[in-house]
Amino acid sequence: MARFDVSKITAVISGLLNERLGDWIFILVCSLVYWYAEGLEPVQRMFRLDDPNIQYPKAKKEHVSSELCIVLVFIIPLLIVSLTPVVFVGRRNRLALIHASVLGLVSTFVIDGAVVDILKVWLGRPRPDLLDRCRPAPGTPTDQYVTVEVCTAKKTHSLNEGFKSTPSGHTATSFSCMVFFCLWLNGQTLALRPRSGLVKPALSFSPLLLAFYIAISRTEDNRHHLLDVMLGGIIGSTFGWALYRRYFPAINSPKSYIPHLDVEEEETDPEPLLGSDNV
């Protein structure tokens, strides 16, 4: 019996990886693009010293740093979607669910990040704290457009980042991962069943509050304009929804907890997480 179980698991893993190998290769390519785009120098648009939109001070400490943002909206959800099926899903079905969940969330994070970083470099919009980063030379005209050459600050990472305002990367990452995670929670718990009550939907959508908090904090830290945050939210939400639907049915589907698979389904359907309707 043990030998049969091992061979069965091996066959399932092999089938999953073979059928989704193209997706993993695409993720690897996007990861390289993401990493490369992070180091590119953005378009440095001309600006005016009397523009009130770029006269804000640079916050010394952010509400949510880049590292903390990744931990909150990507690492923690990744652990949840990876480990929860081990506890709640039958052995015959958990590998397919874990693979689809991890693949979906990782692709959401990487593809969204690559696209947003490329847009930042191309658009080159000044951040609200640009002048604080730039420190213009005394006597620089305030009533006409000038270039980055008037800055006394060296062309460091900080100054380059001053031209990467649109769209907000924190916001896009937060909404892409949190939208995917919320849809995953809804789908796995059948939260939208008519008899599910209010607790499941409320808990399933609650991670979006974190995305909104991070988005708002970017304006409080003078890192982004309101339009940057709104655009980041739209881009992130779009990727989160689209990539969830690539790997899972709609959350109002009777079998929303079963991932789309290109390998043969088991004879019996798996059970949803927390499948009781009275919660």
> C-alpha dihedral over 170, 176, 181, 186, to 10 degrees?
130
Distances, alpha carbon 30 to alpha carbons 36, 107, 125, 169, 238, in Å: 10, 9, 23, 16, 17
Answer whether residue 69 is part of any domain: yes
Tell me which residue of 171, 205, 202 sits closest to 73, measured CA to CA: 171
Instruction: Report how many domains make up the chain.
Output: 1
SS3 47: strand
The one-character DSSP state at 151 is B
Digitized pLDDT (tens) for each residue of the chain, 279 residues in all: 344 455 555 555 555 565 678 899 999 999 999 999 999 999 999 999 999 999 999 999 999 999 999 999 999 999 999 998 887 766 567 888 999 999 999 999 999 999 999 999 999 999 999 999 999 999 999 999 999 999 999 888 899 999 999 999 999 999 999 999 999 999 999 888 877 778 888 999 999 999 999 999 999 999 999 999 999 999 999 999 999 999 999 999 888 888 986 444 444 556 666 655 555
Q: Which residues of 138-174 are buried (b: 16+ CB within 10 A; e: fewer)?
A: eeeeeeeebebeebeeeeeeebbbbbbbbbbbbbbbb
The one-character DSSP state at 190 is T
| pLDDT tens, residue by residue, 218-233 | 999 999 999 999 999 9
Tell me which residue of 149, 189, 167, 133 sits closest to 237, measured CA to CA: 167
Cα distance between residue 56 and residue 129, in whole Å: 5
Answer whether residue 24 is part of any domain: yes
Q: Which residue has the tokens 């937060």?
A: 174
Answer whether residue 268 is part of any domain: no
Predicted structure pTM score: 0.88
Answer whether residue 269 is part of any domain: no
**Structural domain containing residue 25:** 2-247
Q: Which residue has the tokens 């409080």?
A: 220
Answer whether residue 270 is part of any domain: no
Answer whether residue 273 is part of any domain: no
Answer whether residue 158 is part of any domain: yes
Q: Which residue has the tokens 């804000």?
A: 56
